[in-house]
């Protein structure tokens, strides 16, 4: 494995406050030979690991660790290769001491339970997991293009056509999740990765939850993308419409390079979200795009544009013939 092949995917870390876009560089491999080989490797990944697990217990020694790709709240992600099959993957190594002491283990347990049941081209692949006395290791698809956040930070903002195509892909992935009764609850550019051919893949299911009744009360996620109903004081239930709100914030950010409610303090940002005090969109943004955003950033959850409505919206249809 060459150094050029070992491109980093980022690690998404949730925060509780406003987050300005940082400008960073992203070098994405362009070799069709490398990407084709990686596609074939990833296609065989799960079956290869399952075959290994039936013969012997999965453990760290079965993988050749290339180098760290990034770090998160509970551990690090490494670029790795399964020794037996030579498949390339990402190992998300979570240190137990970082989350067992403060009750965060439920996030890890939920991430495994939810992510392991998902099979969709727009969702990062989950190949398996194992643990030892000090670590829990998730075996994930290697997204060679890295975080969409880094691309957005580098380019400042996206064209309407590109933004619409990206939003359509995220909407398709969310539609799959919601049909499986899963709320993501942390949609943001850091949790969207780029695949081999520039396609988007949702990642990081630490805040996701399986909710057959479509009701939850836990306040979680990243403040800039949290919906008003999540921020109301007291015990208030919400639905998967929180993901629709986040999709609206994401669209706004794609087109401008910043989030619509960010302020200097957490309290100020919360107030702006709850009052729908949004930064006006630039005059250069088309009326169709503005209508799309305002149809998602609605205080009353049931009246937000549905995912079906997202894919049928004139702005989406105009900018991408095949939204999936």
Consecutive H or E run containing 89: strand 88-95
Output the six-digit token pair for 227.
């919906």
The binding site for ATP consists of: 92, 141-143, 190-191, 204
- Catalytic option among 16, 186, 300, 312: 186
Q: Which residues pair with 65 in a beta bridge?
A: 80
Any catalytic annotation for residue 186? yes
Residue 194: CB atoms within 10 Å = 21
Q: Which residues pair with 193 in a beta bridge?
A: 147, 201
Whole-angstrom distance, CA of residue 257 vs CA of residue 275: 22
Residues contacting 305, CB < 8 A, separation 6+:
244, 292, 295, 296, 298, 313
Whole-angstrom distance, CA of residue 324 vs CA of residue 322: 6
| SS3 state of residue 92 | strand
Q: Are 231 and 274 in contact (CB under 8 A)?
A: yes
Which three-class secondary structure string do you get for 144-209? CCEEHHHHHHHHCCCCHHHHHHHHHHHHHHHHHHHHCCEECCCCCHHHEEECCCCCEEECCCCCCE
Whole-angstrom distance, CA of residue 66 vs CA of residue 93: 14
The binding site consists of: 92, 141-143, 190-191, 204
Active site residues: 186
């Amino acid at each position: 494995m060459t150094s050029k092949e070992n491109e980093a995917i980022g690690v998404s870390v949730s925060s509780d406050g406003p987050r300005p876009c940082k400008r960073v560089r992203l070098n994405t491999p362009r070799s069709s030979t490398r990407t084709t080989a990686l596609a074939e490797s990833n296609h065989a990944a799960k079956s290869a690991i399952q075959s290994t697990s039936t013969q012997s217990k999965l453990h760290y020694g079965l993988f050749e660790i290339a180098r760290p790709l990034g770090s998160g709240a509970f551990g690090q992600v490494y670029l790795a290769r399964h020794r037996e099959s030579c498949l390339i993957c990402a190992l998300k190594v979570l240190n137990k001491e970082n989350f067992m002491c403060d009750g965060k283990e439920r996030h890890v347990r939920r991430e495994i339970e939810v992510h392991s049941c998902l099979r969709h081209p727009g969702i990062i692949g989950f190949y398996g997991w194992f643990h030892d006395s000090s670590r829990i290791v998730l075996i994930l698809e290697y997204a060679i293009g890295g975080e969409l956040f880094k691309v957005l930070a580098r380019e400042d903002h996206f064209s309407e056509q590109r933004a619409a195509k990206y939003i359509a892909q995220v909407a398709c992935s969310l539609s799959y999740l919601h049909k499986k009764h899963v709320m993501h609850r942390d949609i943001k550019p850091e949790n969207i990765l780029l695949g081999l051919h520039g396609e988007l893949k949702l990642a990081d299911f630490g805040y996701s939850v399986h909710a057959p009744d479509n009701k939850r009360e836990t306040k979680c996620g990243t403040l800039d993308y949290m919906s008003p109903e999540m921020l109301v004081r007291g015990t208030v239930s919400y639905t998967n419409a929180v993901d629709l709100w986040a999709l609206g914030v994401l669209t706004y950010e794609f087109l401008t390079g910043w989030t619509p409610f960010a302020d200097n303090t957490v309290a100020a940002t919360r107030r702006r979200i709850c009052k729908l005090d949004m930064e006006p969109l630039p005059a250069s943004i088309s009326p169709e795009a503005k209508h799309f955003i305002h149809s998602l950033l609605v205080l009353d959850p049931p009246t937000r544009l549905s995912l079906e409505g997202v894919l049928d919206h004139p702005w989406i249809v105009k900018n991408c013939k095949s939204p999936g």
